[in-house]
Structure 1
Amino acid sequence: MKEISSSCCSTNKKKPSNTSELFNVIPVASSCCNSTKEPEKDSCCSNDSAEKVSDCCASQVSKSEEKASSCCSTTIEVEENIMETNAGERQDFLVTGMDCPACAKTIEKGLGSLPGIEMVKVNYSTAKMQVSAANSSAFIPIEKEIKKLGYSAEVLQQNKNLRTYDIVGMDCGSCAKSIENHFNKNPSVKEVSVNFSTGKMKIEHTNSVDEIISEVDKIGYSASLKSNKKSTVEQPKSKKENWIIISSGLLIVLGFLLSYLSVPSFVSTILYAGAIVISGYKPVKSAFYAIKSRSLDMNVLMSAAAIGAALIGEWLEGATVVWLFAIGNYLQTKSIERTRNSIRSLMDLSPSEAWVKIGNDLIKKPVEEISVGTTIVIKPGDRIALDGDVVQGESSVNQAPITGESIPVDKAIGDSVYAGTINEHSLLEIKVTKLAEDTTISKIIHLVEEAQEQKAPTEAFVDKFASIYTPIVFIAALAVIVIPPLIGFGTWGEWFYKGLELLVVACPCALVISTPVAIVSAIGNAARNGVLIKGGTFLEAAGAINAIAFDKTGTLTEGKPKVSDIKTFSGSEEELLSIALTLEEYSTHPIAKAIVDHVRELGKPAKDGAEYKNIVGKGVQATITGEIYYAGNLKLFKGMSIPLGTVEAYVNEVQNNGKTVVIIGTKTDILGVISVADTIRENSAVALKSLLSSGIKQTVMLTGDNEGTAKLIASKANVNRYFANLLPEDKVDAVKKLQEEGYKVAMVGDGINDAPALATADLGIAMGGAGTDTAMETADIVLMADNLEKLPHTIKLSKKALSIIKQNIWFSILIKVIALVLIFPGWLTLWMAVLSDTGAALIVILNALRLLRIKG
């Protein structure tokens, strides 16, 4: 057997740069970890081989490096174990004891033979196993059988009582708090969390869905169980609110006009009272439940102001207060829904049905009923319904909804396509690879919704400030009502009115709403342009970045190097190429792949090799016909007793031309040198130039290449600084050096092999998220397309978001200060106080909505 060593999983190996390469590398990685020759003794992933120093699964590097480098990890990151989920029963397990994807394969095969088991899917990366069976009794022997295989498993209980609801009608963060407080007192509710930004409530409850919806309705809002379909709650609610605003407004106008005619004053009072009842019913009802839940939200404050005005005979002011409040709430809700719909609209991109090919017939089926492996047909002009691989036809596909790319991408047999993208020209037959709930666009929607639910540092600070500000001003309002008249300073009516004004000013709605609406708008804009921002924290971090470090291979360059020159120093070129193929054929590094592809295209055969080993940062070795051969850089051969004068001069000349060299030889002889060249991405130079114009002070390239190659690439890519000859751990040091110089550093890489540097940077940005789920999960920001064209837009959007957040906060505070100052001279009326609050909130929202219009 060929002893596959860690040469196949060096820590400096790069991930294939596109989807097709990802799938091409699977059999190579699998052969490394799943050899069928003498598995009990030589398999690189067997449990009894941990002592091997060269073992590709041995833990000889730090955890972060291991994650980035393991050939076995690479396999699982690029390989999707597909399982149909339409079986009779399904159960999830957590598996412990696996040290390689080959272990996952062993478990799948071992359990797959059990009676009643229909499908087993084990994910090595997450250590989770999904099992489908004909009936629940088939699950009973699973844990015992796994123990026989040398592992252990425990059942993952799925919480069926945890549900998500869409809430309609919230127009401020205090509304969310009131709903939480209301349900926290409900014995049927174990836990509840309401997010104002996304309009969602996550609640664990034992009572029925209808009871939860009814409870939400009591508080003055509407709820529906979350689904991928648009809620039907909003439309009738909008009609009802329109009627309330119009009818109460007409009553106020009629009462005002009658007050100037010879009509008894009580008629106008009755009309004003009617307006208060119509417009004030909802806020008073919500205020009742808020007080019951010990919450102090704006419904309580506004209701107190309106009722207080009526008690002192200011019926017109009381009616105007509730009417303006209703208008403000209506406009705020409508505006906020625009930001929420920026993500919900993504759900409409994927068709709900698809044409399924069964024999020679086409049958339209709902996407939820289509299983993995089914062939679907996409007509020209139609949207692709599910993720899959093209099995018939050639066409151009508009991938803008996923990657943000403006130019359609050509697709042929074997290429991957994504749900929600548009087939431009010809008929395509696609073999489905993911179920409807697992498609790339479904994951984007899920990740973005999660991102919107996370509070940014600024938002958390504002919420804390508001929670202190509101009760203080509320107490101050009570003091204003009581203390001055008691000490004989003014009348009760005068100070009662000022106290009511202070109650209205106590509502911090505009301030609380200033940050989350801006964040949701920015994240929504980014998602529509092919950029995933994982939360407000990372949005704010991106706005503060002033230096960006780029991995070279596959980021600034195409990552598809090709052989450019072959120079022999000893023996024939055919012999050199055969030995090079033997040494490099199990490596996943792009340079090794380029050599392997070139030699195979020439039809040259590989030799019999054994005892493969990786020499970190230098190259690889293997035993061929009893002699050890090496493939690597100049550093590798300088440690051997070989005169390198002529070879070194040639290598330096080639490297100065921006090419990478691989030297082939033994400990005593140099056979030759193979030169490989990578090309700059077409958009790299333009993207980096745009970054410099958008406020980025330093663009830095990190590469393991020599000084000459690094200098040439840096000049072509508009990079103003570079670090060359870096080992993987050196990239971390380079990022730290930039941070020590006072820069806020973002690191751009592929999300897998650059994991340590991505984690060290202030912000990790992964490229090619559409090609790998791992990139979507590991980085703070993900560029879905495998290029840099959206990076300047991301930085611009983040900086603009920070600017708008600051504008909103200062504007909200300024309005409150002005209102407070105007109360005591008697210049502020009650309706003006309401207008200042609802008006400020609306202006803040509209200002944040500008982020939706920024184009990528």
Structure 2
Amino acid sequence: MADSCCSSNKGEQPEDGVKSSCCSGASEVKVTTEAGESQGCCNGNAEDTATPEADNSKNCCSSQAAGETSEAAAKSCCSSESKSQKGEMAEYRIFGMDCPSCALSIEKGLSKLENIAEAKVNYTSAKLKVTGSDFEQVESEVQKLGFKVEPLKQNKNMKVYSVEGMDCGSCAKSIENHLNTIPAVNQVSVNFSTGKMKVEHKNSVEEIVTEVSKIGFKASLLSKNRPSTEETQKKGYGGIITSGVLIALGFAGSFTDVSTFLTTFLYAAAMVISGYKPVKSAFYSIKSRSLDMNVLMSAAAIGAALIGEWLEGATVVWLFALGTALQTMSMEKTRSSIRNLMNLAPSEAWIKVGSQLMKKPVEEVGVGDILVVKPGDRIPLDGEILKGESSINQAPITGESIPVDKEAGDTVYAGTINENGSLEIRVTKLAEDTTIAKIIHLVEEAQEQKAPTQAFIDKFAAVYTPIVFVLALVVMVLPPLIGFGTWGEWFYKGLELLVVACPCALVISTPVAIVSAIGNAAKNGVLIKGGTFLEKAGAITAIAFDKTGTLTEGKPKVAGIKAFNTSEDELLSIALTLEDYSTHPIAKTIVEFANERGIEPKSGEVFKSIVGKGVQATIDGVIHYAGNARLFEEKNIPLGGAEPVVQELQNKGKTVVIIGTNQEIIGVISVADSIRTTTVNALDGLKKAGIGQVVMLTGDNEGTARMISKEASVNRYFAELLPEDKVDAIKKLQSEGHKVAMVGDGINDAPALATADLGIAMGGAGTDTAMETADVVLMADNLEKLPHTINLSRKALGIIKQNIWFSLIVKFAALALIFPGWLTLWLAVLSDTGAAIIVILNALRLLKVSHTDK
């Protein structure tokens, strides 16, 4: 690929023989490189004629650009007009999609727009992501295809306002002209028909509202990400009811003396009312070279009318419209399972300014502002309590319905409920960065990722549909050409094949189940990062747990002190000096214990951490050690009289820290961690869910591991593990034929989490790292939700299989009934839309699965 740059209207010929060119004004250029690639660049009103073959890239540059061409690496400089320059990204919510082929039609339609570089539609989350330099035509293009579109977010400075008082289009123009005179306003667009104003500005919302009021109108900021679907769901039912009544009248009239012309007119009117939207959508789908259900159904209905089957044609269109409306309504229930989380956090907050309280949209609240939250209100933003005490219901974040007591210094999350007591909270995160916003973002991303089963079904459908479409054309033409039957008979069979050609129920079968399951998990405080991990969770046969902080509280306490030839305080002083530089939980426990007793540390130097064994430092010129028995064995320091003490403590399940020098053992400090209250119930639940191996991984000694494993009722344990040894333990389980999940904190256990088939992190509400790195995140810091997650995943896999088999059986049954002449057009439509509705309703059952279900 060659690099192209230019200055003014001058084209340059580089020495390597690869031509480059530039153009401006109204010029047009086409340049061919030695590799056979055509590249062009233009500016102003030039027409870009580039048609690259090798890398599908274009080359264009402004009249001011200057550059050079390199054989090793080619670069391109493009003007803002170039479609090859991706530019900014905007997101929209699409309403009315009832089949994944709808998403494909929208993508193809938008990709043809001049200033759109890329359009990606996800059917399950109903989100459209568009990359380009100008989004002015996006909404109108999507509406042409028969869908409703609503912008979600563009750049952070772009805000949407509602404007009251406009009575004509010139009012909108007046507002635009006035705001364009303000330096802080970069872009403004006012739509008179919708009463909405989009403004990209750098000044405050209050200033924009004030400027609009100056010219006689009232503006108010619309809260972000609060889409309403009720209007979309209800719209269109009137037309369906009207056309249904017309069909019924026509059908009843066919048994009386009513003229054929009148009954045909009634059927035709019903077709127009119910068929206008799908035919219009089909027209734009064909323009974008997309073969979706609207095209197939429109062709079938028009074909039926052409051969005089007006009742069939009208029934086909009416059933399709009804089925589409029911599918859309069912799908919106699935999509709203996550979207409703957006409404948990209030759209406005009370801010303390001096001694006054001011209500502001959450989007306008900054980090460091002071929130005032009254009893019974939801907390609008993440923050830290400055004043007050209360019980906070954190169910929206962690899935735990039992309120948590909070006081000054504690963290609170947006969307949680202040049960009692007034609170003053310092904001720590902006609206778009709150924990609940991240949950919504992660879950929507998860819903957009295809599971392996879904990817396979999509590939199958992509092959199946065109094959059946071509077969339908062959059936219409070939048999009557060779004299086998009449044209009307085979044309009708071909129309039936067209209807059966759309595998709607099949392609919906997997994504709806995945979206429902992920939505259910999110509401219960579990984040599943995508369909792939949902499927993996359902196949897990062994779960390995990190001991400290996972099975146990992770807050060990000093259980005993044994000093040899010195006092306890002297022993603790040495231990404090050594352990104060360690980040290990046990070291922190000893430091806290010594501080509580008022022990003063000694002067130490040359501190060194010995991974998996302990620490060392030089105190008063002598090297001191604090660690486990392996450390002293490695240093060839005999334990002497301390050995039986260490052995006895370890047999009681306690972790032992030995303090000594190269010459002697000074003393022993024992530390004990307690099992979480929820651990035993959680592990029993996993065994009931069919998990064959519940395994504990720990760096503790054999005695401690044995004691804890008995208390927790695990099947087996691996003791005295270094961090890298946990990876080997996971691999051993995998070599035994298990599908292994690893449960840890998402940071210290990262290698093991990555090695396991499924990585599960605990306590995601408190750590962004855990939310970002693990495959599954338990938002609460306990294991209670894990059995529910496994059960939910397995139910999801079962429902996916049910949906796939049901869809295939219905589809092949319809195909088999065509040629004997037993299938009618309206039955073909019913088999397709009816099967799709049943598949969706079956998947919706996953939203109702509770943690008590087995």
Instruction: Work out the CA distance in 1 between the residues paired with 2:799 and 2:845.
Output: 9
Question: In structure 2, what is the equivalent of residue 401 of structure 1?
Answer: 396
1:769 corresponds to 2:764: yes
Amino acid at match of 1:223: V
- Report how far residue 378 of structure 1 moved: 1.3
1:766–1:165 distance in 2 versus 1, CA, 3 Å:
same
Q: Output the amino acid matched with 2:125.
A: T
Following the alignment from structure 1 to structure 2, what is the Cα–Cα distance between the partners of residues 638 and 230?
62
CA deviations over 1:672-708 (Å, ceiling 9, x no partner): 0000000000001100100011011100000000111
Give the distance between the partners of 1:379 and 1:495, measured in 2 at CA: 72
CA RMSD of aligned residues (A): 1.3
Q: In the alignment, residue 528 of structure 1 is paired with which amino acid?
A: K
* Other-structure match for 1:195: 122
| TM-score, scaled to structure 1 | 0.80
**8 Å Cα contact 2:581/2:607 also seen in 1:** no
Residue 167 (1) aligns with residue 162 (2): no
Q: Is contact 2:350–2:360 with CA below 8 Å preserved after alignment?
A: yes
Contact conserved, 2:678 with 2:783, CA < 8 A, in 1?
A: yes
Structure 1 residues 78-133: Cα deviation after superposition (integer angstroms, max 9, x where no partner): xxxxxxxxxxxxxxxxxxxxxxxxxxxxxxxxxxxxxxxxxxxxxxxxxxxxxxxx
Residue 687 to residue 248, structure 1, CA distance change in 2 (3 Å): same
Deviations 1:43-66 (A, max 9, x none): xxxxxxxxxxxxxxxxxxxxxxxx
Listed one character per residue, the Cα deviations across residues 242-292 of structure 1 (whole Å, up to 9, x for unaligned) are 111011111101111111111111100001001111111111111111111
Counterpart Cα distance in 1 of 2:228 and 2:633: 74
Which of 458, 461, 466 is equivalent to 2:456?
461
For residue 215 of structure 1, what is the amino acid of its counterpart? E
Instruction: Kindly report which structure 2 residues correspond to 1:413-812, keeping only aligned pairs within 5 A, or say none.
Output: 413-812=408-807
Residues 140-289 of structure 1: matches in 2 within 5 Å? Answer: 161-209=88-136, 211-227=137-153, 229=224, 234-289=229-284
Q: For each residue in 1:568-617, what CA deviation from the matched residue of structure 2 results, as whole angstroms up to 9, or x when unmatched?
A: 11211111001101111122211011101100000111111111001121
Gaps (5+ residues) in structure 2?
A: 1-84, 154-222
Q: Secondary structure at the match of 2:663?
A: coil
Q: Which amino acid aligns with 2:456?
A: F
Letter of the 1:593 counterpart: K
Q: TM-score, normalised by structure 2?
A: 0.81
The answer as to 2:346 corresponding to 1:351 is yes
Matches of 2:365 and 2:108 in 1, distance apart? 42
Amino acid at match of 2:287: K
Higher RCO (Cα < 8 Å, 6 or more apart): 1
In terms of Rg, which structure is larger?
Answer: 2
Q: Which amino acid aligns with 1:216?
A: V
Paired position in structure 1 for 2:68: none
| In 1, Cα distance between equivalents of 2:232 and 2:797 | 34
Partners in 2 of 1:658 and 1:204 — Cα distance? 59
Does the CA contact (< 8 Å) of 2:393 and 2:402 recur in 1? yes
Closer, same or farther: CA 240–386 of 1 in aligned 2, 3 Å: closer
Q: What amino acid sits opposite 1:477 in the alignment?
A: A
Structure 1 stretch displaced more, 638-647 or 591-600: 638-647
Deviations 1:634-680 (A, max 9, x none): 11112345442321111111011111010011111111000000000
How far did 1:232 drift?
Answer: 5.9
Give the C-alpha shift of residue 240 in structure 1.
Answer: 3.4
Letter in 1 for 2:520: N
* Counterpart for residue 209 of structure 2: none
Report how far residue 362 of structure 1 moved.
2.3
Aligned partners of 1:694 and 1:796 also within 8 Å = yes
> Post-superposition shift, 1:159?
7.3
Structure with a larger share of its residues in helix:
1
Gaps of 5+ in 1: 1-157
Distance of 1:174 and 1:532 partners within structure 2: 28
* Counterpart AA for 1:188: N
Alignment partners' CA distance in 2, 1:319 and 1:509: 21
Aligned-pair CA distance for 1:407: 1.1
| Cα distance per residue 1:419-478 (max 9 Å; x no partner) | 111111111221111111111001111111111111111111000000000011111111
For 1:690 and 1:853, the matched residues in 2 are separated by 19
- Using the alignment, how far apart are the partners of 2:407 and 2:581 within structure 1? 27
- Matched residue of 2:125: which SS? coil
Return 250-259 or 465-474, whichever deviates more: 250-259
CA distance in 2, matches of 1:491, 1:326: 31
Q: How many angstroms apart in 1 are the aligned matches of 2:235 and 2:386?
A: 52
Q: Which residue of 2 aligns with 1:301?
A: 296
Instruction: Please tell me whether the aligned partners of residues 472 and 494 of structure 2 are also in contact (alpha carbons under 8 angstroms).
Output: yes
* Separation in structure 1 between the aligned mates of residue 133 and residue 369 of structure 2, nearest angstrom: 38
Query: Percent same amino acid among aligned pairs?
Result: 71
Please say if residues 379 and 426 of structure 1, whose CA atoms lie closer than 8 Å, have aligned partners that are also in contact: yes
- 1-side partners of 2:527 and 2:242: how far apart? 45
Letter in structure 1 aligned against 2:140? S
**CA distance, structure 2, for counterparts of residue 224 and residue 769 of structure 1:** 31
Indicate conservation of the 8 Å contact 2:86/2:117, yes or no: no
**Corresponding residue number in structure 2 for 1:391:** 386
Structure 2 Cα separation of the partners of residues 783 and 409 of structure 1: 17
- SS of the aligned residue for 1:548 comes to strand
1:207: how far off? Answer: 2.7
Give how far 1:627 is off: 1.1
Question: Residue 223 of structure 1 contacts residue 233 of structure 1 at CA under 8 Å; is this kept in 2?
Answer: no
> In terms of mean alpha carbon deviation, does 252-261 or 685-694 score higher?
252-261
Per the TM alignment, residue 182 of structure 1 is displaced from its structure 2 partner at its CA by 1.1
Whole-angstrom distance in 1 between the partners of 2:226 and 2:375: 31
> What CA deviation, in whole Å up to 9, does each residue of 1:553-581 have, x standing for no partner?
00000000000100011211111001101
Distance apart, 1:357 and its partner CA = 2.0
Q: Distance in 2 between matches of 1:774 and 1:177?
A: 35
How far did residue 161 of structure 1 move?
2.4
Query: Any idea what SS the aligned residue of 1:645 has?
Result: coil
What CA distance in whole angstroms lies between the structure 1 residues aligned with 2:263 and 2:321? 21
**Are positions 1:853 and 2:848 aligned together?**
yes
Mean Cα deviation higher: 363-372 or 687-696? 363-372
The question of whether the paired residues in 1 share the 8 Å contact of 2:582 and 2:609 is answered with no
Counterpart of 1:152 in structure 2 is none
Change over 3 Å in CA distance of 1:653–1:329 after alignment to 2: same
> C-alpha displacement at 1:718, in angstroms?
1.6
Distance in 1 separating the partners of 2:634 and 2:788: 48
Report the residue type matching 1:200 in the other structure: K
Cα distance between partner residues in 1 of 2:99 and 2:300: 18
Q: Pick from 287, 291, 315 the counterpart of residue 292 of structure 1.
A: 287
SS of residue paired to 1:348: helix
Q: Which amino acid aligns with 1:737?
A: K
Is residue 2:252 matched to residue 1:325?
no
Check whether the contact 2:226–2:342 (CA below 8 A) recurs between aligned residues.
no
Alignment length, in residue pairs? 698
Shift of 1:236: 4.1
Following TM superposition, by how much is the alpha carbon of 1:391 offset from its aligned partner in structure 2, in angstroms?
Answer: 1.5
Contact 1:548 1:699 in 2 (8 A): yes
